[in-house]
Amino acid sequence: MSIEKIVEQALQDGYLTPSMEAEVGRICNTASELSIEEYMALDRLMGALLTGEVVVLPRKQFINVMEELVLSEAIARVAEIEATTDQTLDVGDIAAYALNRLPPLYATTEEGAQFQRSNAKEKLQKLISLQVKEAIDRNMDRPEFFPDRIALGKSSGNEVMTQVSSLLNSYAHEFEQQPSSPSSE
């Protein structure tokens, strides 16, 4: 989606979602130069944000501490395996498999997160290690059924647009707009 369309959607809906904000950032970071239209759209968005016409929806205000514990364990185990073998493992697949078999540990404050971390290290570390080991074993034995599958965050081009559109459609009422006919100015 273009910056202009994102801004138009934000103005129509009255809010800018984290995914819309991320897409604008991605476009700005990857473009060597923005067009006049893109600068004008960003200026309109900035004005709308300053006046409150558009509000920024907050990013998630909680974390699942189990995710960081599992990722740390998975990265350490995968690094050991990849250092001693010629096998390449997918940390994302391993973490997702293990996380689906472990309890979530959500926290909304730093103190809560620290409590969850220390509590999990004391009471759940063996279970975390076991689930990561099982995930690695399954990942190593898995044949390459779908070599053309698209991992989340790895797609490009229209796939990204489709994913963003789908996400925004879930959160923004009547997100999809009818294509407008070109004006004759």
Claim to verify: residue 27 and residue 72 sit in the same structural domain: no
Tokens of 63: 């974390």
pLDDT tens for 88-146 read 888 889 999 999 999 999 999 889 999 999 999 999 999 999 999 999 999 888 766 56
pLDDT tens for 47-101 read 998 998 988 887 778 889 999 999 999 999 998 998 898 888 888 899 999 999 9
CA distance 142 to 129: 20
Angle at 35 between CA 29 and CA 37, to 5 degrees: 115
Specify the number of domains making up the chain: 2
Claim to verify: residue 80 and residue 135 sit in the same structural domain: yes
Asked if residue 146 is part of any domain, the answer here is no
Strands (DSSP E) found in the chain: 15-16, 55-56, 63-64, 106-107
Claim to verify: residue 52 and residue 93 sit in the same structural domain: no
pLDDT tens for 137-171 read 998 887 665 666 666 655 444 455 555 555 555 55
Q: Which domain holds residue 7?
A: 3-59+155-171
Radius of gyration of the chain from its Cα atoms, rounded to whole angstroms? 22
Asked if residue 177 is part of any domain, the answer here is no
Provide the sign of the torsion angle of the four alpha carbons 182, 177, 12, 154, taken in this order.
Answer: negative
Asked if residue 181 is part of any domain, the answer here is no
